[in-house]
Amino acid sequence: MVNKGLKGVVAAETAISHIDGKEGKLIYRGYEIRNLTAAHSFEEVAFLLWFGHLPTVAELDKLNTELVKSRYLTETMKTVMDVLPTNMDFMSVIRTVISAEGTIDYGWKPTISQAITLTAVMPTIIAYWYNKVQGKTCNEPVETLSHVENYLYMLNGSSPLEAQVEALETYMILTLEHGMNASTFSARVTASTESDIVSAITSAIGTMKGPLHGGAPSGVIDLLNAIETVEKTEDVIRKKLMSGEKLMGFGHRVYKTHDPRAIALRKKLIGLSGEDRWLDLAVHVENVAVKLLNELKPGRALYTNVEFYAAAIMKSINLAPELFTPTFTASRVVGWSAHVLEQAEDNTIFRPQSEYVGTMAQM
C-alpha cells in the first residue's frame, strides 16, 4: 500500500509537540499553547522547546545573554549578502547565508548552543537584507530589547508600539513548532544522516520556501484591504460568499474545529483592543464572517486559522509582504532545531521504500 506524501504514516516519536486536530489543541512539551501565549515570552517558550521545561529566572537570564551575544552578523554573512543579486528571492537569501555558516565548528552531534546561535541571528539576517534591498543601512541589534522587539526595531529603524510587539510575539510563539510538517520532516531527514545542524536547517528553509508550506497570508491581506472599515464588513463578506468565492483565512487541513493558534491570537488581540485599527478590524471580521458562514453555508465547520490573524498582525506593523515567510522562518527555526536535537538523541536514518510503477524492457 502506498501512502502518497507519507500521509498518516508515523515516522518518529517526539516529546516536543502534539497536535489534536479533532479537539483543536496544540501542545508544546505538555503545555497547551493558549496557556503559554497568555503568560510566557518568546524566549521562555523557546527554552521550553529546547530544554523540555520552562526556565527558572537564572536559566532565562543565561538564555537571554546567549541570544543577545549571537544576534550579530559574522563578517562572512555580511560578505555573502553584499555579493548576492538584489533580485534574489528572500528565502533563497536566508538559505544561502545560513548555509555559509556550515564550518567545521558545526559537526555531529548538534548542540543547543548551536540552535540558539542560529535562532538569534536569523532576524538580523532578515533585517539586513530587507534594508539592503531598499538602499538603507540596517540598524545594529540593541542588547536591551527582547528578541521580537529587536527584530522590529532592526527592520524599521524605530521603536515599535508595545501592542505591535505583543501581537507579533504571540504570533511567533504560536508558529515556533507544529509537529511533523514538511520543513520539520526535511530537517529531521537531513539530521538522520548525521549531517550538521546548519545543513538540517538549510534543508528546512528550502522546504519552507515552497508556497504549499510557507506561503504568505496574502489572500487574507486582500480580504482586509477590501473590507477596510467595520461598516463595510458584512456587505463585502456576503458578496464574496454569494458569488462562491473562498473566504481566505478560514478552514485548516489538520484542525477540524477551531485552530487553537487562532484562538490564542484572537484572545491577545481582544486584550489589545483600541491599540491598532487593523487588529480591531480582524476581530470584527471574524465575528461577522462566522455569522454569515452559518447563515449561508450551514453545516460547514469553517473557523479562522492562524493565517487570518497573522495577516492582521502583519498589516498592523506594516510588514512588507516579502517579509511574511521570512518572519515565519525566524520563529520556526526554534522548532526545527529542537527536532534536530531530538533526532540526534535516538537516531535512525530515514530510508522509506518506493513502489516501482515503470515498465520492464523486453530482452
Catalytic residue numbers, as ranges: 252, 307
**54: Cβ–Cβ under 8 A, 6 or more apart, which residues?**
31, 40, 44, 47, 48
Omega before 62 cis (within 30°)? no
Report the C-alpha gap between 36 and 30 in whole angstroms. Answer: 11
DSSP of 116-155, one letter per residue?
HHHHHHHHHHHHHHHHHHTT-PPPPP-TTS-HHHHHHHHH
Contact 255, 21 (CB under 8 A): yes
Report the C-alpha gap between 265 and 361 in whole angstroms. Answer: 58
Of 177, 123, 182, 187, residue with least CA distance to 306 = 177
Report the C-alpha gap between 283 and 273 in whole angstroms. Answer: 9
For residue 286, give the C-alpha cell: 471574524
**53: Cβ–Cβ under 8 A, 6 or more apart, which residues?**
29
Contact 23, 259 (CB under 8 A): no
Of 258, 255, 257, 287, residue with least CA distance to 270 = 287
Of 205, 200, 202, residue with least CA distance to 341 = 200
232-245 b/e with 16+ CB inside 10 Å = b? Answer: ebbebbeebbeeee
